[in-house]
Amino acid sequence: MLETKPSKAPPTIYLKNYQAPDYYIETIDLHFELGEKHTTVHSRLALSRHSKADSPSLVLNGEELELLSIKQDGQVLSKKNYYQDSESLTLLQVPDCFTLEIETRIYPQDNTTLSGLYTSSGNFCTQCEAEGFRRITYFLDRPDVMARYTTTIVADEKKYPILLSNGNLIAQGKWDTGRHFAKWQDPFPKPSYLFALVASDLARIEDEFITLSGRKIQLHMYVQPHNQDQCDHAMASLKRAMAWDEQVYGREYDLDIYMIVAVDDFNMGAMENKGLNIFNSKYVLAKPETATDTDYENIEAVIAHEYFHNWSGNRVTCRDWFQLSLKEGFTVFRDQQFSADQGSSAVKRIQVVNHLRSYQFREDAGPMAHPIRPESYVEINNFYTLTIYEKGAEVVRMLYRLLGTEGFRKGTDLYFKRHDGQAVTTDDFVQALEDANNTDFSQFRLWYSQAGTPELRISRIYDPEMSTYTLKVKQTCPPTPEQPHKAPFHIPLAIGLLDAEGRDLPLRLAGEAEAITGTRVLELRQAEETFVFQDIPCKPVPSLLRGFSAPVKLYLGLSNEEYCFLLVHDKDHFNRWEAGQQLAIKILLGLVEDHQQGKPLILDPAFTNTIEKILAGDESDQAFVAQILTLPSEHYLAEFMTVIDPEAAYKARRFLQRGLAEALHSTFTTTYESLAGTSPYHSSPEEIGRRKLRNICLEYLMTLDGPDIKSRCLQQFNESDNMTDVIAALSSLADTESSERKIALQAFYNQWKNDSLVMDKWLSLQALSRRQDTLTIVKKLTQHPAFKLTNPNKVRALIGAFCQGNPVRFHDPSGEGYRFLRDYILKLDPLNPQIAARLASTFNLWRRYDQNRQIIMKEQLEHIVNSPRISKDVYEITTKALG
């Protein structure tokens, strides 16, 4: 580990420099004495040399540690035998095999970084991924050092009656001093990033799960006592995930107990520590009065994600942090599969792609662009990115599509069997899929090493005399500074061709004996390729990239009429939605141009008629209809602008919403009224779909700003029995200049001011409002009791929501939004560098805006970089943004 310099130039870590550790740690015994002012940690490590390195020294990682003593094979070491710096402890002379005992003192109550051991709401908890364990004790804190852990926790019995760690409880007892202890042992070797400890006064909810082999698994969830009634959905989701993983992947849980602890202060969503998952409370707690349908869906997905990590991340883990997508991309794909099986698979796929294109594509086009297996980093926390997670999942999905369900299962079975208990690489994962299916993915591996979003430009020719239809495909990938030239990718392109009635035509390529009806997958491998389909009786409408079969940008040049046809007729639900999105993008870009040129904005009647047909149609999946009615976001629209114009994007989208609401007022009103629900609340896919469609109708109607609809909106707010409908109404009211807005916001606050998670929604709704005075409101809210700078959820709910979710107000030409963000990045950085860096990434695309905005954003970046002693996290983001 290189020493981090106190200057502005921290070292860069490179994949090409990876070396296996000189030593491995076979076992570690940890003893924690938890105190109200400080905590003492005693570790006993059994080390053995596993290399022929010439140096007799050993370098251990450690940060913010007070070293009390060191013993080597029972002998106390004097200071001449070791030295320390801010990030390491170096032992100068060590044998090939030895025992090392280290005693350190740490201060969890003062740890605002929320990395290592810290306190949240008076409870002790840990977060060790990626490099938090080094803030607990000196250690080889890297994922390829896997040890068996035994952990003893000692604490005040009254204050901390619950003492938890990884594995199985093997001993517990009381001491005369009013303290007690618990001893845990994890039988499976694991890297230090999976270590967990919790000491708390929490309520325990118990259940059990019977595995396919008949083993009984205890399921425990720990939450604050007043939240016990909000765990049913999380527990049910966990049991569904356990059953699904057995059925779909053949993975059975391996310990006798599985525990989840919910904490209020957490940098991430959740953490898959072996046997003891620690969760951000927002991804555990849910009841209809306080959680929306989206909360319910997110809880189910995150609970499943962390459980699935037990095999794809824990039993088989990463060799180094460059391989992060090995566990995260694969596990995100698995949780997406699970979620699709629980509800509407079409809607789940749409939601995933919408998020990917709105945000990950922006990441690919910005200064932090990197492959899903990066080549270098300064601070690993900055690489927990959408590229690693979401694009990583898309790469696994392509492998799944190329191999098919059976082939992919054969490959993953071999992967888990071959590498159980090992720390491996993305190449090892792909190799297992290849070996199990006797195939070659050499070219496909470029997805792991090349950055950027590939682009497909497709031309089409129909020859009525020869009855042939030709697709000419050209693939490119924009250059990046580190990779100016990109080799062609191996891309699965799923396609269909529709006849005049909307039926899929049989598809037979030249030279093939038989046609395939329905979707077929073309495997692109060259920079330019031509596909000629035979026996096509009429000019078809192409349905390309079905199911979003690859994370690419598709340029096809369909007419408005063809998009309307696909929107109504395509059998592929994703492509039906996509046709509507691309048609809306064309219309919105035209409106943007008209606005910029001072021309009057005019509604497209053909688009209006198509939307009316969809709204009044007989589609049974109401959640899918709601997705079709949702216009492309301002973020996604910006992807199509050479120079991003936030104001024009907002006004064009708002005009189209309002125009549709005016033209289809009666239809929206009738649909809204027909979808009124009855108590009690249900979280079934059908009921979720009903609420989604009803509330999108309300959103359209509220753009008309009439007193009748405001009254109806306030009525929904007052009379609804569930948070989904309450938030939908309050969100629409928050955008208005009305007495109803003030009444609703105050009533919501009065009712929920003691519920921290619900208050996050209250903060976000106001931060996302498109009102002119939103920044003024946000600034006032930073002083409100509901906001707390040291709580990541609060920061994301208010500052993150405004700066990253409200482009028209954040990008006000005055630059006040930019200066506001700068100030809070600098306030946060000393407290929590991870959260500060994520906020700093908001400036990444500053070069895409007009000159005035560029100048002001650049000034803020330079101000941050020139500030004294910024963290490595913020330094890396801001310097890369500046180039």
Residues annotated as catalytic (active site), given as ranges: 306
Q: How far apart are CA 713 and CA 699, in angstroms?
A: 9
Q: Copy the structure tokens of residue 82.
A: 């070791």
- What's the DSSP call for residue 84? E
- Pairing assessment for the beta strands 148-156 and 23-33 based on DSSP bridges: parallel
Closest C-alpha among 751, 760, 754, 795 to residue 227: 754
Max Cα separation, the chain?
96
Contact 739, 710 (CB under 8 A): no
How far, in Å, CA of 53 to CA of 46, rounded? 19
Q: CA 789, CA 346: separation in Å to the nearest integer?
A: 38
Which stretch of DSSP H or E encloses residue 278? strand 276-280
Query: Distance between CA 836 and CA 795 in Å, rounded?
Result: 10
Q: Which two tokens stand for residue 518?
A: 């329905």
Q: Which of 545, 364, 425, 383 is nearest to 143 (CA)?
A: 425
Residues paired with residue 83 on neighbouring β-strands, in sequence order = 90
Residue 310 main-chain phi, psi, to 5 deg: -55, -35
Helix, coil or strand: residue 101: strand
Tallying the residues shown for the chain, one arrives at 883
| Contact in structure between 676 and 694 (CB atoms under 8 Å) | yes
- The conformational region for residue 458 under phi > 0 = left, psi -120 to 50 = alpha, else beta, is beta
Strand partners, 541: 498
Supply the angle between the helices 723-734 and 707-719 in degrees, to the nearest 10.
150
For 234, 434, 479, 491, the CA distances from 444, given in Å and listed in that order, are: 37, 11, 19, 8
Q: Which candidate, 795, 802, 854, 781, places its Cα nearest to that of 825?
A: 795
DSSP one-letter code for 321: G
Distance from C-alpha of 215 to C-alpha of 211, rounded to nearest angstrom: 5
Q: Say which residues have a Cβ less than 8 Å from residue 603's Cβ, sequence separation at least 6.
A: 655, 656, 659, 660, 663
Cβ pair 382, 875 in contact under 8 A: no
CB 198 within 8 A of CB 276: yes
The residue type found at 27 is T
Check if the beta carbon of residue 41 is closer than 8 Å to that of residue 106. Answer: yes
- The residue among 656, 650, 655, 569 whose CA lies nearest residue 608 is 656
Name residue 199's amino acid.
A
- CA–centroid distance for 796 within its chain: 14
